[in-house]
Amino acid sequence: MKSLSIPQQALIILPILVVMALTIFFYRLTANISVYTDVDLPKIQGLILKKSQQLTDIQLTDHQGNTVTRDYFLGRWHFIAYGYTHCPDICPTTLFTLTQLADLLNANHDTPETQVVFYTVDPDRDSQEILTQYIHYFSEAFVAVRADTSINAENFQHSLGIKVEIIRSYVNDDYQHAIKEGKTILSKVNFDFYQVNHGLAVFVLNPDAELQAVFLPEKTELGIKGFTSDVLYHDYLKVVKYYQQRRLL
């Protein structure tokens, strides 16, 4: 059998070497991406979503009477806190901490444009007028939003994972039936008994109107849950950097 010449052997071996080199290159590339997304996911007081979650079916009204849909959240970062205006401690404390955070962000001109939004879980009592007075007590730059129907409230709360329980005794059955049917929620209603239970978290939406991170409170030595502006500030910068780096992949 006639042996192959050196040029012929080279022509056979070269494609094999090229395939092996490309295989090694793409393996290392995908391995580096995997290491970054899994191992180098920033640690914050809460969690960062590896794959941001898109908001859907958003239909709210802000404290100025403007309609708020998903498009409202496009183009800049948003912090979303939630609660109700009759809340005696957790809600005002969280909003006050967010005013301190806003001051830190405003002092650093390199941070992205950021809007703080307060969502009321108690639209029956928190009318547009009440929300205006309440949110302006903390900052003229903050925005308060409410749902006009129970369906809109459920859609928004489901999108973010907000858990709320309202225990109330109705004056008449017609009003209770109206809420179940998803009709317009009335603002001025009297109840024999009224109690609101809700969790505590601050949601971060990226400029694509997607849920990017959730900040969770820490317990103090006294067992009180809450946030500090410094921790929120540095964790927020980590979230922004992670978002920016992910977009380059």
pLDDT averaged over the chain?
A: 83
- Give how many domains the chain has, as a whole number: 2
Residues 223 and 145 in one domain: yes
Residues 25 and 53 in one domain: no
pLDDT, position 54: 92
The residue segments making up the domain with residue 16 are: 1-40
Q: Are 214 and 202 in contact (CB under 8 A)?
A: yes
The confidence band for 14, taking pLDDT boundaries of 50, 70 and 90, is low
Per residue in 106-151, pLDDT tens? 999 888 999 999 999 999 999 999 999 999 999 999 999 999 999 9
Residues 214 and 242 in one domain: yes
Residues 18 and 101 in one domain: no
Residues 161 and 211 in one domain: yes
Q: In terms of C-beta density within 10 A (0-12 exposed, 13-18 middle, 19 or more buried), how is residue 145 classed?
A: buried
The confidence band for 210, taking pLDDT boundaries of 50, 70 and 90, is very high
Per residue in 75-112, pLDDT tens? 999 999 999 999 999 999 999 999 999 999 999 988 89
Q: Could you give the percent of the chain with pLDDT greater than 90?
A: 59
Residues 120 and 187 in one domain: yes
pLDDT, position 219: 81
Kindly state the tokens that stand for 135. Answer: 């949110």
Residues 36 and 137 in one domain: no
pLDDT, position 16: 59
The confidence band for 224, taking pLDDT boundaries of 50, 70 and 90, is confident
pLDDT, position 57: 86
The confidence band for 197, taking pLDDT boundaries of 50, 70 and 90, is confident
pLDDT, position 3: 59
User: Following DSSP, what letter does each residue of the chain receive, concatenated?
Assistant: -PPPPHHHHHHHHHHHHHHHHHHHHHHHHHHHHHHHHHHSPPP-SEEEEEEEEE--S--EEETTS-EE-GGGGBTSEEEEEEE-TT-SSHHHHHHHHHHHHHHHHHH-TTSPPEEEEEEES-TTT--HHHHHHHHHHH-TT-EEEE-SBHHHHHHHHHHHT--EEEEEEES-HHHHHHHHTT-BPPS---EEEEEEEE---EEEE-TBSEEEEEE--EE-TTS-EE--HHHHHHHHHHHHHHHHHHHH-
